[in-house]
Amino acid sequence: MLLEFLGVAALLFGFFFCAVGVLGVIRMPDSLTRLHASGKVATLGLFGLLLGAALLMPSTWLRILALGLFVLLTSPVATHAIAASVYRRREIVVELGETGAQTESTDITRVDVTAVLSRSRIQDIIDAQERALRHHAPDARAKRDK
Amino acid sequence: MTDSSIVQAVIQVVLLALVSLLIPASYRVIVGPTLPDRLQAVDLITTLLIGIIVMLALVEGTENFVDMAIALAAFAFIGTISIARYISEGRVF
């Protein structure tokens, strides 16, 4: 009786945080704030649901504990990877001469093309251009060095 | 006896509400202005699916569904990491 009451309370707790997280993912204005909202679903919401399931069906608590430990280990890593991709993408767009505010604009095609270029690939392009310049105008460089 | 029927009703209502939460999450997948937004929304959808599978195990009384949830969590983690690496680095490996 008490176990069922606690289980239902944990289920409702988890569902409340799932709903709040999804609402935040829709309503938040920025990529990183949306990421913050979706992190709440992965921790509080899912753990509430798992705790409720373990209390309502006690024979399966070991598997649910394994699932909870796995989610506890992997969810922050995935969120960190997405946040790092948002940050580096913004850095790349700034390096290519755009302002940071334009990453959130509706100019989707332009931003998506620049996002595929990694920093190392941009450095490769710059190196190749310098090599070509050195090859085509060696005496200009020699004059400049004198 | 009425207690267990109330508990079953609450479980089914929570399951239906979780399934209906998938619709606004997929709105972000379709509309999301940049690529990391879409990736993050797909990650949110897989998290919701893990919760839905656990609730389904409660409704059906089948313990083996939790194993499915563990497998889904593992594959979702690998997929999210690789796509995030693709966005930031330009290549997966």
Query: For residue B51, what is the nearest residue in chain A, using CA coordinates?
Result: A46
Give chain B's mean pLDDT.
89
| Model pLDDT for residues B62-82, shown as the tens digit of each residue | 889 999 999 999 999 999 999
Closest CA to A92 of A66, A68, A123: A123
Q: Which amino acid is present at A144?
A: R
Residues of B in contact with A66 (CB under 8 A): 70
Residue B76 to residues A2, A51, B81, Cα–Cα distance (Å): 35, 21, 9
Provide the pLDDT for residue A117: 62
Residue B9, CB-side half-sphere exposure with 13 Å CA sphere: 6
Q: pTM score > 0.80 for this model?
A: no
Query: Which pair of tokens denotes residue A46?
Result: 């899912």
pLDDT along chain A (146 residues), means of 10: 90 94 90 89 91 91 93 92 86 63 47 56 73 62 52
Domain range list for chain B: 2-89
Closest CA to A57 of B28, B1, B59: B59
Closest CA to A70 of A50, A90, A52: A50
Q: How many contacts does A have with B, using Cβ atoms within 8 A?
A: 164
Query: Which pair of tokens denotes residue B47?
Result: 């998290």
> Could you give the CA distance from residue A103 to residue A93 in angstroms, rounded to a whole number?
7
ipTM, interface predicted TM-score of the complex: 0.88
